[in-house]
Structure 1
Amino acid sequence: MTLIRTLAAALLLSIGLSAQASDGGSGDPNYSIHNPPAYAMIGDLLIARPLLVAATVIGAGVFIVSLPFTALGGGVGDAGQALVVDPAKAAFVRCLGCIGEGFEQQN
């Protein structure tokens, strides 16, 4: 009887450890999203954010230049979203070091 209990305990322990390792090791899937490592934060601050701010400014300029053509085609909203809003959200609203959709509301 102790052999069965030992095997059952080992099985449950291995299932629990494999589930914990699959989501970043913490047991909480949001932990890996909201707490990136320090090197990701530094790289994001020094490299990605300045590039995203530049992309926002350049995208705004391209949007203004292309506005007459996009207005004729009816795609002003899509062009504004792609050229200005998306880079601005990634630059100013996304959490530092986050890779994915960090600016959307989490429940």
Structure 2
Amino acid sequence: MNLLRPIVLALSLGASLPAFANTESGDPRYTIQNPPAYAMIGDLLIARPLLLAATVIGAGAFVVSLPFTALGGGVGDAGKALVVDPAKATFVRCLGCIGEGFERQD
């Protein structure tokens, strides 16, 4: 019994160490996220299809609103909000991450 206690303690401590791991890279320009498996699965099956639909719908809305936004001078802002931001969240962001995969911090 005395031999079993340190083994169980070592295994339980070893299993909990990744929870305390620092997910920051050494480079201050980039942050690296390490999402759990359930977040990746949920992102793959739920979030990415919804974001793809949002990108397609946003592109359609951008084309429809283009004459009006051109008159107001907000084409760049409308394109970024309706097309670029959903597309970045769909295709650039790592699977299960909250932000983009490698965010540059200037």
Match of 2:67 in 1: 68
- With over 3 angstroms needed to count, the CA separation of the structure-2 counterparts of 1:103 and 1:61, relative to structure 1, is farther
What aligned pairs does 1:33-52 form with structure 2 within 5 A after superposition?
33-52=32-51
The one of the two structures with greater contact order (alpha-carbon pairs below 8 A, sep at least 6) is 2
**Would the aligned equivalents of 1:94 and 1:102 in 2 still touch at CA under 8 Å?**
yes
RMSD between aligned residues: 2.4
**Would the aligned equivalents of 1:90 and 1:103 in 2 still touch at CA under 8 Å?**
no
Going by fraction, where is helix more abundant, 1 or 2? 1
1:35, CA displacement in angstroms?
1.6
CA distance in 2: counterparts of 1:104 and 1:27, whole angstroms:
16
CA distance in 2: counterparts of 1:87 and 1:68, whole angstroms:
21
CA distance in 2: counterparts of 1:28 and 1:58, whole angstroms:
35
Residue 99, structure 1, aligned to residue 98, structure 2: yes
Give identity over the alignment, percent.
80
Return the TM-score normalized by structure 2: 0.70
- Which of the pair has more CA radius of gyration? 1
1:64, CA displacement in angstroms?
0.2
For the residue of structure 1 that corresponds to 2:45, the secondary structure is helix
| Stretch of structure 1 that moved more, 94-103 or 77-86 | 94-103
Residue 26, structure 1, aligned to residue 60, structure 2: no
Aligned residue pairs, count: 84
Which amino acid in structure 2 is aligned with residue 96 of structure 1?
Answer: L
- With over 3 angstroms needed to count, the CA separation of the structure-2 counterparts of 1:27 and 1:57, relative to structure 1, is closer
- Unpaired runs of 5+ residues, structure 1, are 1-20
Return the TM-score normalized by structure 1: 0.69
The runs of at least 4 consecutive aligned structure 1 residues that moved more than 6 Å come to: none
